């Protein structure tokens, strides 16, 4: 036999050449680049919990696919060039493309995308079965194997046709641009070779390790380009041939009807699955919630749809993580076709709409109107999450980040990039700033103590950050100071200034916009406070000495001191109770000291509830004489006979019917029963049933005897201000001795008072179910509570006890029982009768000033908004250096800041404070998203392997090597 007869046909040589060259190059790429550079880092981040474990599986399978292909090529398919070609172009290449897109582009897979990938996997498995079963008859397999193969190959054919149509949108312009590039290169060979020489020079200068990776990656793109360009034609033909062969064989065995029926069933099931899986819930949910329900029946119907509403709002909120773009905004397609084929905008937009229909599993359907603004992308990704968060808050009466935290954290961590996962996780879980050090120092003075909290912060991000605390202290405690420092040196720290609350807030907000250091400490409730410090300086990013790479250094520490004064409670010193913290986290590396000694804090707590006193604390009576002939007394409650609740009281009870109150149905019912028993069965109690604007009915008033507490519909959300406003509107001329507001710990997040209302002429007591005290109150509500002589409690008995004590005191005496002491403000001669000795220490002065201000608020309730009254209250706060509802502490670091504050303190609105939201995470604005590349990028990375190169160059860019 001569040599020519042994030579394989050209088609077989081409099949062998394409398969082996592509696989060998890809294996080299994996060994020299992808595997050693990506997989170790990915393993570390998965182990650290930053990236989900599924991404390690995707990466590993992606690396193993060409290995499996080579093994099959060396064994079962070694003498079958046609099957090798089919393995590479129908299974191996598309599978790697799918895995690469899923790994690098898609963050959290939706049901539709998951179904599509599983569907494609079934088809590929059937085609692989077809390739490996060399007899092609299914002999030796189970009886239903031929039918199963036919169904699988039908799935494969449908998948290939679908994928080919999708890829064709890119293949056509890529071929066109490639031909133009070839022609341009031929015409400018000198420029081309000069560019190649510069590339090698740059690679040699930057390090040889990148040279083989870049060369192999470039060659890999060229080879993979054949897959990309030929796929819309070759893959459907190969799949169709396999399908037709299986169908023909089955027809020969079983006749025409049943094989064709199976094919029809598979086709119809596939179409049905596509349309079913691609139903997105957000449009329907937004329509349901677009208008408040018109009746309680409609409200109840919405409550019954809670799960569907939750899914729809969550899908809209997480749209930037689940989809690559939205309908009407996949502009890279229209841009490509306008640039490549010179189509006008209408023609290009028609192509874009066709593409959006094909790419439906990856395209978000906006809940609002589609984007019609030329040149603006991702409108839906910015607007819909904000609207979804608003609707969620209105319907479920809690922020979506709190209600769906687990789902949101899982979504934002779904990425191959540790940088993106960590940044997103930081934004959701407030992990931007690390609490490096925390020291608590307690200085005991008998039955009261001075407590200092010293903390050191360090920023973990490249942006300036603000640390925000919402915390509670016992109502009798008083905050006495705050300082900032650039070092732990107390002598060099910046001290506070007591300023009118509105002026202090205005300066703080303006200075944070200018990126200058301030800190602000405010009172936002009878026992609630807010502390903000800015800016915690970012990581230091700079060029190294040779300016060849960027070096990231630790951020400088930020130092903060806070002091307060408190009485002992149950033989211990209370510590601040954290309600909410923003942008800060602590861990096992946080150094914690108590009075200079290491101590342990349980779990994830910021601070323990209290610090045990060094010895048994014996409460004693205190008296402080103030200028003007008045004194403040604090007498241990154990030495005072507390009054019982008087009979025949006329009480109004305001019942919050927000959705979050549904968790307290049993407690509400028992509390109402106890209240009626305390007052007497014959004493009427008016129940004010509140109603949110989202409820669909007006607020109403009924008697307690007529209330069915077990069957109340809790719906929508309201804050305390809205509850009081509705009470005032419904009260008419009814006279009461007190107003009890039954609510829970939510509401502050809903914003300020929706309407103005006067300070009630009787005490207002807010009873928070479950003892859940909210973050705070808007200023109008806080004023109404304190100026009316009321207060805030976590249970009914405590509120009634305090009310009964205040009722037997004289007007403006401010009698109250708090934290184990009975407090009162009396003329000095009357105070001497009750407590003969005066505190020799000035320490009790801060407690006394705080109690005097509360008494003065009640005395001047009718003039509480007059500047003269407010200035008088503020002067007391300044004199005794304390925080009050009207006086805040602000730390400023420059003379210009001080001058600005001087000016604002003379303005008429110096006590007017704007409501400030907590600062919920807006995912669309704060978290890096996987976006759609620009048109020229699509033409360069039209194949999946180019995405792999993206990882390489991205890491180089981050390290400054390019």
If one compares 757 and 956, the residue with the highest pLDDT of the two is 757
Per-residue model confidence as pLDDT tens digits over 198-207: 766 665 555 5
376: which residues sit within 8 A by CB, 6+ positions away? none
If one compares 81 and 610, the residue with the highest pLDDT of the two is 610
Query: Is 952 buried (19+), middle (13-18) or exposed (0-12) by CB count in 10 A?
Result: middle
Q: How many percent of the chain have pLDDT more than 90?
A: 45
If one compares 28 and 960, the residue with the highest pLDDT of the two is 28
Nearest one of 240, 246, 323, 274 to 118, comparing CA atoms: 274
**Cα torsion for 804, 807, 813, 817, to the nearest 10°?**
0
* pLDDT tops 50 at residue 954: no
* pLDDT tops 70 at residue 97: yes
Per-residue model confidence as pLDDT tens digits over 233-263: 778 888 999 999 999 989 998 899 999 999 9
Q: How far is CA 658 from the centre of its chain?
A: 23
pTM of the model: 0.76
pLDDT averaged over every residue in the chain: 84
Task: Provide the pLDDT confidence category of residue 398 given band limits of 50, 70 and 90.
Answer: confident
Task: Provide the pLDDT confidence category of residue 929 given band limits of 50, 70 and 90.
Answer: very low
C-alpha distances out from residue 150 to 133, 233, 604, Å: 13, 22, 57
* pLDDT tops 80 at residue 787: yes
Task: Provide the pLDDT confidence category of residue 940 given band limits of 50, 70 and 90.
Answer: very low
pLDDT at 661: 92
- If you search the block for the tokens 């502009």, which residue do you land on? 331
* pLDDT tops 80 at residue 690: yes
pLDDT at 90: 84
Rounded Cα distance between 10 and 352, Å, is 40
Per-residue model confidence as pLDDT tens digits over 163-199: 888 888 888 887 888 788 788 888 877 777 777 677 6
Phi, psi of 936 (to 5 degrees): -65, -30
Nearest one of 511, 460, 454 to 487, comparing CA atoms: 454
Per-residue model confidence as pLDDT tens digits over 288-341: 998 888 888 888 899 899 999 999 999 999 998 889 889 888 888 888 899 889
Task: Provide the pLDDT confidence category of residue 951 given band limits of 50, 70 and 90.
Answer: very low
Q: In the 3-class helix/strand/coil scheme, how is 409-435 assigned residue by residue?
A: HHHHCCCCCHHHHHHHHHHHHCCCEEE
Task: Provide the pLDDT confidence category of residue 455 given band limits of 50, 70 and 90.
Answer: very high
895: which residues sit within 8 A by CB, 6+ positions away? none
* pLDDT tops 90 at residue 470: yes
- If you search the block for the tokens 């405010």, which residue do you land on? 522
Alpha helices (runs of H) in 559-648, residue ranges in sequence order: none
Kindly report the number of other CB atoms within 10 A of residue 550's CB atom.
14
If one compares 608 and 87, the residue with the highest pLDDT of the two is 608
pLDDT at 547: 61
- Residue 835's Cβ-side half-sphere holds a number of Cα atoms within 13 Å equal to 25
Which of 150-159, 198-207, 681-690 shows the lowest mean pLDDT across its residues? 198-207
Task: Provide the pLDDT confidence category of residue 634 given band limits of 50, 70 and 90.
Answer: very high
Mean of the pLDDT values across residues 11-30? 75
* pLDDT tops 90 at residue 792: yes
Taking each helix axis as running N to C, give the angle between helix 282-289 and helix 306-317, from 0 to 180 degrees, rounded to the nearest 10: 110
Mean of the pLDDT values across residues 110-134? 88
pLDDT at 420: 66
Rounded Cα distance between 468 and 458, Å, is 14
């Amino acid at each position: 036999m001569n040599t020519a007869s042994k030579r394989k046909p050209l088609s077989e040589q081409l099949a062998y050449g394409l398969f082996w060259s592509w696989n060998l190059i890809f294996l080299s790429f994996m060994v020299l680049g992808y595997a050693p550079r990506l997989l170790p880092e990915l393993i570390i981040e998965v182990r650290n919990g930053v990236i989900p474990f599924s991404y390690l599986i995707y990466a590993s399978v992606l690396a193993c696919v060409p290995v499996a292909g080579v093994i099959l090529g060396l064994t079962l398919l070694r003498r079958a060039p046609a099957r090798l070609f089919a393995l590479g172009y129908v299974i191996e290449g598309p599978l790697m493309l799918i895995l690469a897109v899923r790994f690098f582009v898609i963050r959290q897979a939706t049901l539709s995308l998951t179904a599509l990938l599983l569907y494609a996997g079934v088809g590929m498995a059937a085609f692989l079965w077809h390739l490996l079963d060399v007899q092609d008859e299914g002999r030796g397999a189970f009886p239903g194997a031929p039918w199963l193969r036919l169904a699988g190959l039908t799935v494969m054919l449908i998948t290939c046709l679908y994928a080919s149509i999708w890829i064709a949108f890119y293949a056509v312009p890529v071929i066109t641009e490639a031909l133009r590039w070839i022609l341009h290169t031929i015409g400018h060979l000198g420029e081309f070779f000069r560019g190649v020489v510069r590339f090698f020079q740059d690679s040699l200068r930057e390090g040889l390790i990148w040279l083989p990776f870049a060369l192999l990656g470039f060659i890999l793109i060229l080879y993979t380009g054949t897959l990309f360009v030929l796929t819309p034609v070759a893959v459907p033909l190969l799949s169709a041939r396999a399908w037709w062969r299986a169908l023909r064989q089955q027809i020969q065995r079983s006749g025409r009807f049943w094989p064709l029926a199976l094919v029809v069933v598979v086709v119809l099931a596939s179409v049905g699955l596509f349309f079913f899986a691609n139903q997105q819930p957000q449009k329907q949910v937004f329509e349901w919630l677009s208008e408040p329900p018109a009746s309680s029946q409609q409200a109840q119907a919405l409550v019954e749809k809670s799960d569907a509403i939750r899914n729809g709002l969550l899908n809209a909120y997480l749209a930037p993580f689940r989809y690559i773009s939205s309908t009407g905004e996949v502009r890279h397609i229209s841009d490509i076709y306008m640039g490549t084929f010179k189509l006008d905008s209408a023609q290009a937009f028609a192509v874009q709409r066709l593409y959006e229909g094909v790419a439906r599993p990856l395209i978000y359907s906006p809940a609002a109107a589609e984007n019609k603004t030329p040149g603006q992308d991702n409108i839906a990704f910015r607007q819909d999450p904000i609207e979804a968060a608003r609707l969620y808050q209105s319907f479920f009466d809690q922020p979506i980040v709190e209600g769906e935290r687990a789902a949101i954290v899982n979504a934002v961590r779904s990425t191959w990039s540790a940088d993106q996962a960590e940044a997103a996780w930081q934004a959701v879980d407030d992990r931007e700033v690390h609490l490096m050090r925390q020291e608590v120092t307690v200085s005991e003075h008998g039955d009261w103590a001075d407590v200092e909290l010293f903390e050191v912060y360090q920023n973990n991000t490249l942006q300036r950050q603000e640390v925000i605390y919402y915390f509670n202290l016992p109502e009798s405690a008083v905050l006495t100071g705050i300082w900032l420092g650039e070092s732990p040196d107390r002598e060099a720290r910046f001290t506070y200034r007591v300023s009118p609350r509105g002026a202090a807030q205005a300066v703080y907000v303006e200075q944070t916009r200018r990126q200058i250091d301030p800190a602000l400490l405010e009172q936002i409730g009878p026992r609630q406070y807010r502390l903000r410090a800015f800016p915690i300086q970012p990581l230091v990013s700079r060029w190294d000495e040779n300016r060849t790479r960027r070096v990231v250094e630790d951020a400088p520490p930020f130092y903060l001191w806070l002091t307060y004064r408190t009485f002992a409670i149950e033989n211990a010193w209370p510590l601040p109770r954290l309600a909410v913290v923003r942008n800060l986290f602590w861990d096992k590396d946080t150094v914690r000291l108590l009075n200079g000694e290491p101590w342990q804090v349980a779990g994830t707590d910021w601070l323990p509830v209290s610090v045990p006193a060094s010895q048994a604390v014996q409460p004693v009576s205190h008296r402080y004489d103030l200028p003007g002939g008045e004194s403040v007394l604090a007498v241990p409650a154990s030495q005072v006979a507390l009054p019982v609740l008087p009979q025949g009281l006329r009480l109004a009870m305001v019942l919050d019917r927000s959705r979050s109150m549904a968790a307290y149905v049993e407690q509400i019912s028992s509390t109402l029963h106890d209240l009626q028993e305390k007052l007497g069965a014959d004493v009427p109690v008016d129940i004010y049933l509140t109603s949110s604007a989202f409820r669909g009915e007006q607020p109403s008033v009924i008697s307690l005897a007529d209330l069915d507490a077990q069957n109340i519909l809790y719906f929508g959300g309201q804050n305390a201000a809205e509850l009081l406003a509705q009470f005032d509107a419904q009260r008419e001329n009814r006279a009461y001795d007190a107003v009890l507001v039954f609510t829970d710990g939510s509401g502050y997040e809903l914003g300020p008072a929706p309407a103005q209302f006067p300070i009630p002429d009787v005490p207002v007591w807010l009873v928070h179910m479950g003892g859940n005290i909210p973050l705070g109150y808007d200023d109008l509500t806080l004023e109404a509570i304190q100026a009316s002589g009321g207060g805030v409690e976590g249970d009914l008995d405590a509120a009634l006890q305090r009310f009964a004590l205040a009722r037997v005191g004289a007007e403006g005496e401010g009698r109250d029982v708090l934290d184990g002491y009975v407090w009162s403000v009396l003329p000095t001669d009357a105070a001497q009768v009750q407590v003969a000795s005066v505190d020799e220490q000035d320490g009790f002065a801060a407690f006394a000033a705080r109690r005097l201000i509360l008494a003065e608020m009640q005395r001047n309730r009718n003039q509480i908004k007059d500047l003269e009254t407010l200035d008088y209250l503020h002067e007391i706060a300044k004199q005794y250096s304390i925080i009050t509802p009207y006086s805040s502490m602000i730390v400023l670091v420059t003379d210009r800041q001080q001058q600005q504050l001087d000016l604002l303190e003379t303005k008429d609105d110096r006590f007017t404070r704007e409501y400030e939201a907590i600062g919920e995470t807006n995912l669309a604005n704060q978290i890096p998203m996987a976006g759609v590349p620009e048109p020229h990028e699509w033409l360069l990375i039209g194949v999946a392997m180019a995405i792999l190169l993206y990882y390489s160059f991205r890491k180089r860019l981050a390290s400054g090597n390019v």
